Amino acid sequence: MGHQTNETTELVRHTTEDLRRGDLTMRQMAGITPQEMVAMAETADALRRSGDLDGAAAVWGLLLSYDPYVPRYWKALADIHRRRSRWAEAVACYELLALVQDRILDDARAEATCLFALGEGELGRLITADTEGRTTCGSMVTVLE
């Protein structure tokens, strides 16, 4: 298994710390709109489709530096690292993907609990139904050969 680059190691470290603290994202602090984030993601996808995996990885990394709580960004970057046989970086991205998804599931379950307590059982059931069957951290981490 290869070594992670310093850039990936730093990104993973910062994201892990931010996940624990629940801090604001750089996107929010910089005032980047959701539409601008979508445009950057479309650019990353176009670069990947054209075969420019280095360019695509750079854009996905930029998106993650702005908002590390979007599972799609982690999956896309992990898939690029996997395609480039950068196994350690791919595994690190998949692990962060699992943490982000676990956080989303935990937040949805907490919201549903509050809705049940407020007598809004139907809304609570909708939220829990939407999260059932989603992958959790333990089953998300992919073993790469």
Cβ atoms < 10 Å from Cβ of 2: 11
pTM above 0.85, yes or no: no
pLDDT tens digits along 48-101:
999 999 999 999 999 998 888 899 999 999 999 999 999 999 999 999 998 888
Contact partners, residue 8, CB within 8 Å, separation at least 6: 89, 92, 93
Q: Which residue bears the tokens 């992990």?
A: 78
For 23, which DSSP code?
Answer: P
pLDDT score recorded for residue 80: 96
pLDDT score recorded for residue 134: 46
pLDDT score recorded for residue 4: 60
pLDDT score recorded for residue 37: 92
Domain spanning 6-140 has what CATH number?
1.25.40.10
One-character DSSP codes across 32-54: --HHHHHHHHHHHHHHHHTT-HH
Backbone angles phi, psi at 51, to 5 degrees: 95, 0
What are the boundaries of each domain within the chain? 6-140
Tokens of 8: 């990936």
One-character DSSP codes across 2-18: -PPPHHHHHHHHHHHHH
Tokens of 142: 């992919």
pLDDT tens digits along 94-132:
999 988 888 888 877 777 788 788 887 777 777 666 554
CB 70 within 8 A of CB 62: no
